[in-house]
Structure 1
Amino acid sequence: MWMKKFFLGIFLVFILLSGFVTYQYSQYATSQITQDAQKSLISATKNKVSLLEKSIASNIGLLKFLHSTPPISGIGRALENNGNDPADNTTLAQWKNRLDVIFKALIENNSELLQLRIITVADGREFLRVDRDGGRVIAVPEQRLQDKSDESYFGAAAELEFGEVYVSSINLNREYGKIVFPTQPVYRIAMAIFGPSGDRFGFLIMNIDATELIQRFVAETGFINEFWLVDQAGNFVFSTNSKLDFSAQLNPSWTLQSLYDVTSFGAEGLATIAEKAEGKTQWLADREVVYTGTSRDEHLFVYSLLNQTVIDQRINARHREIITMGGISVSILAIITLVFYRSYRASNKLNNANSTFQAIVDGSVDALICIDETGLVKTWNHAAAQLFGVPQSSVLNKPVSEFVKLHNVDLLKQLTVSKSKGSVLAFKDTFDDKSGYLKHLDISLSPIVHRSSQMESFALRLRDITSEVRSEELLKQSNAQVRERTEELKRHSEELEVAHKQAMEASLAKSNFISTISHEMRTPLNGIMGTLNLIQNDPLTSSQQKYLTMAERSVSTLAVLINDILDLSKIESGKLEVHNQEFSPREEVESIVQSMSVKAIEKGLELIIDTTNIHHSRVISDPNRLKQVINNLLNNAIKFTNEGEIRVVASTSTLEQGSVRLSVDIFDTGIGIAQENQHKLFQPFSQESSEIATKFGGTGLGLSICRQLCQLMNGDIGFESIQGKGSHFYFYLDMPESECDSDSLAAELQGQRIGLCLNNDSLRNVVAKMILSWGGQVSEPKASIEQWLNHQVFDAIIFEAESRHYNALMKALKTRTAAQSTLPMQLIELNASTPLPPYQMGGELDVTVISKPVLSEDLLAVLNGNDAEEDVTEEESAQRSTKPFQVDLHGVRVLIVDDNDINQEVAKGFLAPLNASIDCVSNGLDALNLVMEKHIDGQVYHCILLDCQMPVMDGYECARQLRYNSQKYGHSNVPIIAMTANAFSGEKEKCLAHGMSDYITKPVDSERLVEKVSRWTKKYQNQRGAEAIQTQQVTAKSTYKGWKKDQALKRMAGNQALLDKIVTMFQASSVEYMEKLESEISARNIDEVTQWSHKLKGLCGDIGAQDLREMLAEMEKEARKQEECDITQIETTYRQAKQEYSKLMEAIASPV
Structure 2
Amino acid sequence: MTTFYLDNKGFAASLITVFLAFLLLVWFSYQRAETSVYRDTAEHLVSIAELQADVVRGSVLDSERHVRFLHATPPVQGIVRATQHAGIDPREATPYPVWVSRLQTIFSAYARNNPNIAQIRYIGLADNGRELVRVNQDGQGVEVIPDAQLQVKGDRDYFQASLNLKPGEVYFSSINLNREWGVIEQPAWPTYRVVEAVYDTDGRQFGMIVVNFKLQAMFDALVKSVSRDLAVFLLNENGQFLLHPDPTRNFEFEYGLNESWESSYEESPQEIAYRQFFRVGSPQHPDERYFALKQDILLPEGAGVRHLTLVSAMRISALASLVWKRQVNLLLIDTVLLLVVLALLVLYWLFSKKSMAELGVRAQFEAIVRGSSDIILGLDCNGRVMSCNQAALTLLGWQPDAAAEHKLTDIVYTSGPLDTSIQPLQRAFEAVCQGRKVEPVTIRLNRSEARGDEPCYASVALSPIVISQQRINGVAAIIRDMTEARNLQLHLQKTNQTLVEKNDEMERFIYTVAHDLKSPLVTIGGFTQSVLRDMATQLDAKNTHRMQRVLANVNHMGDLLNDLLSLSRIVKAPVERQWCELTYCVDKVRDSLSTQLQESRCELVLEAAHGPVYANEQMLVQCLQNLIENAVHYRHPERPPRIEIECTPNQSGTQVAVRDNGLGIESRHHERIFRIFERLDASLGEGTGVGLAIVKAIMEKHQGTVVLQSTPGVGSTFFLRFPAPQANREEQNESD
Range class of TM-score, shorter chain: 0.3 to 0.5
Please, what TM-score do these two structures have when normalized by structure 2? Answer: 0.44
Larger radius of gyration: 2
TM-score normalised by structure 1 residue count: 0.29
